[in-house]
Structure 1
Amino acid sequence: MRRRNVLPGLPLSLGVTLFYVGLIVVLPLAALVIKAASLGPADYWQIVSSSRAVASYRVTVLSALGATIFNLFFGLALAWVITRYRFPGRRIVDAVVDLPFALPTAVAGIALTALFANNGWFGSVLEGFGIKVAYTPLGIMIAMCFTSLPFIVRTVQPVLEDLDPALEEAAQSLGGSDWAIFRRVILPLLAPALLAGVSLSFARCLGEFGAIIFIAGNQPMSTEITALLIFIRLEEYDYQAAAAIASVLLLAAFFMLAVTNWLQARALRYTVKG
């Protein structure tokens, strides 16, 4: 007698999955591509290469890179502390990591602006050292750090929890230092998760909107992000220009995912061979 599966069969499961992916993911992306493709090559290039658009790309990408690099180190350290140590308030810290997921991004932007404005709790202190945060690219980076940090912590944390302590004990018995054990034993095992977390964090930074517009100041050519420029074009009913600029972010996201998948495959092969 053939054993019955608890879950529905392949045709039904595959059909529901493809329908959901097509409706939620493929259809909006196809509409974006079709709208952008309605422009001629010359018009498309004129829109995406305008000085204002290029300035928004620069602000967005550089801020996202800075925020992702910071989150790479801070997120790894935070995941390490939560996983490896027991201290009072650990569960609270672990729960606070998910706060950017639950908190509306607009609320986060208003809170960060209040904190880092010239008369805010942090901004007034930094102002004494000549550091201006609100309405500068630094403020954009801080907003991006806040919203994208959980992606790195939550991708690295399960891997740290599943690491076999015997590997570290064996390395210690062979005379390895703490840094050597981390670099040659732990880090290669964390590499695929770190790459996944970094790619998700960077993608979130590229597409972040609500948390940034309040603290950025939104000055064209200076602190205007690409997502805001797309929103401005939509408010002007210039849908083709909005789609063209959005397609640049879409291509950048696809390229980033392709490179990340390639690096993850290399890291997995290195781990298996090791």
Structure 2
Amino acid sequence: MNGRVVRRSVLPGFGLTLGYTLIYVSLLVLIPLFFLFGKAATIGWSGFVATIFSERVLAAYWLSFSAAFVAALVNCVFGFIVAWVLTRYEFPLKKLVDGLIDLPFALPTAVAGIALTTIYSQNGWIGQYAEALGIKIAFTPLGIVFALIFIGLPFVVRTVQPVLLEADRQMEEAAHTLGASRWVTFRRVIFPNVLPALMTGFTLAFARAIGEYGSVVFISGNMPMKTEIAPLLIMTKLEQFDYAGATAIAAVMLVISFVMLLVINVLQWKSGKRHLVG
């Protein structure tokens, strides 16, 4: 008699669940992407190249990806600091501050854009003081970065926070006992443990910022060649009934985003593997 115990899965078998997964992914992701590239192909290769390499489109690409990259980097720094404060210190109204971190998730992006424009415009609460120093925020690329920082911060904080909560504090205390300075302890003990989560937060914030539209459209000013982002240009093409041109721009954004996210994920995987080996 075979003494092995057969463990039954709570969910259906592999074949059935795999089938559901493939159907779900196909309906929501693969088929829409297929038609996206198919629609972009209707203008022909020459029309496609002329559309995606026009001066206005290239300027919109550069602004969208550079602003998203800068905002994600800033969020990595300050998102880590916020997560550190929330996990390592006790202070009044801590739960309120912790809850406010998720506000960009629930706040409609248009409302966020209007609020940011009101604050950072020339006559805004903060913008008037920045203007006095010769710094213009609203209706400039700097305002776009501010908006993307606002919507991307929760991704970094909520990704890093659980890692800091689960970190072994005894390793830090041991490093201090052995004479390590605060900087050495951070660089050799804390940062390697947090780096994979920090890169994940960067990836999520960067991906979210690339496709952001609602909060940016109000604070950017939408000036072609200066403050016009790629999602806005796609909407402009759609309003002009240039569906093929809009899908061509969207297809290029999709490819560039996929390649950049793939590179980031590979670097994250290598960093995590190196940490496990070390």
- TM-score range normalised by the length of the shorter chain: over 0.9
Secondary structure of the 1:40 match is helix
User: 48, 54, 64: which is aligned to 1:50?
Assistant: 54
Q: Does 1:273 align with 2:277?
A: yes
Q: Does 1:97 align with 2:101?
A: yes
Distance 2:22 2:179 in 1: 53
User: 57, 72, 76: which is aligned to 1:72?
Assistant: 76
The aligned residue for residue 242 of structure 2 is 238
Give the C-alpha shift of residue 6 in structure 1.
Answer: 2.3
Distance 2:261 2:58 in 1: 22
User: 242, 262, 266: which is aligned to 2:266?
Assistant: 262
Distance 1:172 1:44 in 2: 60
Unaligned runs of 5+ in 2: none
User: 131, 140, 143: which is aligned to 1:127?
Assistant: 131
Secondary structure of the 1:121 match is coil
Secondary structure of the 2:261 match is helix
User: 167, 170, 187: which is aligned to 1:166?
Assistant: 170
1:199–1:256 CA contact under 8 A, matched in 2: no
Q: Does 1:59 align with 2:51?
A: no
Distance 1:74 1:167 in 2: 24
Distance 1:97 1:126 in 2: 25
Task: Give a deviation string over 1:114-158, Cα, whole Å, max 9, x none.
Answer: 111111111122121121111111111111000111111111111
The aligned residue for residue 227 of structure 2 is 223
Unaligned runs of 5+ in 1: none
Distance 1:180 1:107 in 2: 43
1:118–1:124 CA contact under 8 A, matched in 2: yes
TM-score, scaled to structure 1: 0.96
Distance 1:77 1:61 in 2: 24
Secondary structure of the 1:133 match is coil
Give the C-alpha shift of residue 40 in structure 1.
Answer: 2.4
Give the C-alpha shift of residue 17 in structure 1.
Answer: 1.9
The aligned residue for residue 193 of structure 2 is 189
Q: Does 1:24 align with 2:28?
A: yes
- RMSD, matched Cα: 1.3
The aligned residue for residue 160 of structure 2 is 156
Secondary structure of the 2:43 match is coil
Distance 2:36 2:195 in 1: 34
The aligned residue for residue 34 of structure 1 is 38
Distance 1:215 1:118 in 2: 11
Bigger mean CA deviation after superposition, 16-25 or 75-84: 16-25
Bigger mean CA deviation after superposition, 1-10 or 167-176: 1-10
Distance 2:136 2:257 in 1: 31
The aligned residue for residue 85 of structure 2 is 81
Letter matched to residue 18 of structure 2: L
Letter matched to residue 201 of structure 2: G
Distance 2:42 2:197 in 1: 39
Q: Does 1:249 align with 2:246?
A: no
Task: Give a deviation string over 1:200-243, Cα, whole Å, max 9, x none.
Answer: 11111111000000110000011000000000001111111111
User: 143, 168, 171: which is aligned to 2:147?
Assistant: 143
Distance 1:177 1:28 in 2: 54
Q: Does 1:9 align with 2:23?
A: no
The aligned residue for residue 205 of structure 1 is 209
Secondary structure of the 2:126 match is helix
